[in-house]
Amino acid sequence: MSSQKLKNRWLIAASAVGIHISIGSVYAYSVMTNPVKDVFEVEGSVIKWAFKIAILLLGLSAAFLGRWVEKVGPRISGTTAGIFYGVGILGSGLAVQLESLWLFYLCYGVIGGIGLGLGYITPVSTLVKWFPDKRGLATGMAIMGFGFAALIFGPVMAKLFETVGISNAFYILGVIYMVLILSSARYIERPPLGYAPKGYQEGEGKIIKEDLTNITANESLKSPRFYYIWIMMFINIACGIAIISAASPMMQEKLDYTPMQAAAIVGFIGVFNGLGRITWSSLSDYLGRANTFIIFFAFQILAFYFLPKIGIESVFLIILFTVITMYGGGFAMLPAFLGDLFGTKQLGAIHGMVLAAWGLAGVIGTTIYDIVKEQTGSLDTTLLIFAGLFIVALIISIMMKISITKSEKLKEQELSIATLL
């Protein structure tokens, strides 16, 4: 092991949270929709395209820059993420000041979206390497920051819009995000080669479960498991993000909430999104990643089928918030699951390729919702379509479980033969 002074892995995790809590402010986008649309004098759906572009660029930049992130390391890629995201938010302020909608799309959607993608994948593969014994917990902590960000920055945004004006609010937020991300990126780094946490080092007794394989990003593309998990994530994200974006009108339609009542409940979505990330990812260390996804999809088939039929407020909200925890939990488990399946050799690159599903799902999920709602005038059909998609996801997750079980048995047999020899 290297003679360099070993950094505290929990502070590495805190640095990862610092990056994710900054870029996760994108989930508070709904707070800025009305103020910004009034500036440009357009419908809210027009302003939402900046969010859709940002999520699309998140997925694409994560997919295409994942190998670069692995090559240069978390400090350089984290710094680059801070510059892109900060400049994107600052540029959005300029776009508002100049009343240029296309500049807003460019800055928030494209430039900010690239910063989102880089910032999202930068700390994750590093954390998996620092926490080989607690992969789910570690990635859950970081990605929890992404989920909780809306709860923190939503009220901050609203207050700034009210007190200093919209463009000035973007300038202030841009500086805050840039400082947070750049400061976090200065501390985060990969562990030394051969690192193992205390208690798991050679001769200390505890054993870390071996990954199924340890392969490159290109090699992972030859495995059916890559496509299984890609489709699983696509469906979980498409349905989840559509429900998040439609939460307020859905509660107004199904529970007869006023817009103010619905807005108050929407604030809790960030809480359950964040709690789901740390809770489910930690549980997956014990339940198994594939088993946890099977639970997700089985529950959500029933949830989306029965939600249109439920008029009892408490039951409706419990089901809705549970779905939100599973949406967040899927994100948090993903890096740990990929590490289990493909090892850590090029985990950042593989994670980036799977996150392309997020970019596409962010556009397709909300578009399905908008089209079906417009054609039918009701949420019921949309929810039933999502229930059907979860049936597909459940079947694929069971195929994944069978594939993993076969590989584990084969490895055990090979180990037994090697021991006998």
Instruction: Report yes or no on 197 lying in a domain.
Output: no
Please write the tens of the pLDDT for every residue from 238-281: 988 888 777 777 788 778 888 777 777 777 887 888 889 889 99
Same domain for 283 and 228: yes
**Dihedral, CA of residue 41, residue 44, residue 50 and residue 52, to nearest 10:** -160
Q: Which of 190, 225, 241 is the last residue of a domain?
A: 190
Instruction: Report yes or no on 416 lying in a domain.
Output: yes
Instruction: Report yes or no on 195 lying in a domain.
Output: no
Same domain for 345 and 301: yes
Q: Which of 190, 221, 248 is the last residue of a domain?
A: 190
Instruction: Report yes or no on 201 lying in a domain.
Output: no
Instruction: Tell me how crowded residue 314 is: count the other CB atoms within 10 A of its CB.
Output: 8
Instruction: Report yes or no on 1 lying in a domain.
Output: no
Same domain for 350 and 285: yes
User: How far is 171 from 296, CA to CA, in rounded Å?
Assistant: 40
Same domain for 306 and 395: yes
The number of distinct structural domains making up the chain is 2
Write the CB contacts of 174 (distance below 8 Å, at least 6 apart in sequence): 86, 87, 88, 89, 90, 92, 93
The mean pLDDT value for 359-365 works out to: 82
The mean pLDDT value for 109-115 works out to: 96
User: How far is 227 from 183, CA to CA, in rounded Å?
Assistant: 36
The mean pLDDT value for 396-406 works out to: 94
Instruction: Report yes or no on 71 lying in a domain.
Output: yes
Same domain for 218 and 176: no
Please write the tens of the pLDDT for every residue from 17-40: 999 999 988 878 878 888 888 889
Given a contact cutoff of 8 angstroms between Cβ atoms, the answer to whether 138 and 13 are in contact is: yes
Same domain for 250 and 146: no
Q: How confident is the model at residue 200 (pLDDT cuts 50, 70, 90)?
A: low
* Mean pLDDT, the chain, whole residue set: 86
Q: How confident is the model at residue 105 (pLDDT cuts 50, 70, 90)?
A: very high
Instruction: Give pLDDT, residue 205.
Output: 46
pTM of the shown model: 0.80
Please write the tens of the pLDDT for every residue from 59-89: 889 888 888 998 899 999 999 999 999 999 9
- Domain of residue 34: give its range: 8-190
Instruction: Give pLDDT, residue 178.
Output: 96
Instruction: Report yes or no on 91 lying in a domain.
Output: yes
Same domain for 308 and 245: yes
Same domain for 235 and 133: no
Return the CATH number at 287. Answer: 1.20.1250.20
Same domain for 184 and 66: yes
Same domain for 214 and 178: no
User: How far is 381 from 170, CA to CA, in rounded Å?
Assistant: 38
The mean pLDDT value for 342-362 works out to: 85
pLDDT above 50: residue 226:
yes
Q: Which of 157, 190, 223 is the last residue of a domain?
A: 190
The mean pLDDT value for 152-179 works out to: 91
Same domain for 100 and 237: no
Give the amino acid at 80: T
The mean pLDDT value for 207-236 works out to: 86
Tokens (6 digits) for 196: 């193992």
Instruction: Report yes or no on 137 lying in a domain.
Output: yes
Instruction: Give pLDDT, residue 147.
Output: 73
The mean pLDDT value for 340-357 works out to: 87
pLDDT above 60: residue 175:
yes
Instruction: Give pLDDT, residue 162.
Output: 87
Same domain for 237 and 123: no
Q: Could you tell me if residue 29 is left (phi over 0), alpha (psi between -120 and 50 degrees) or otherwise beta? A: alpha
Q: Could you tell me if residue 398 is left (phi over 0), alpha (psi between -120 and 50 degrees) or otherwise beta? A: alpha
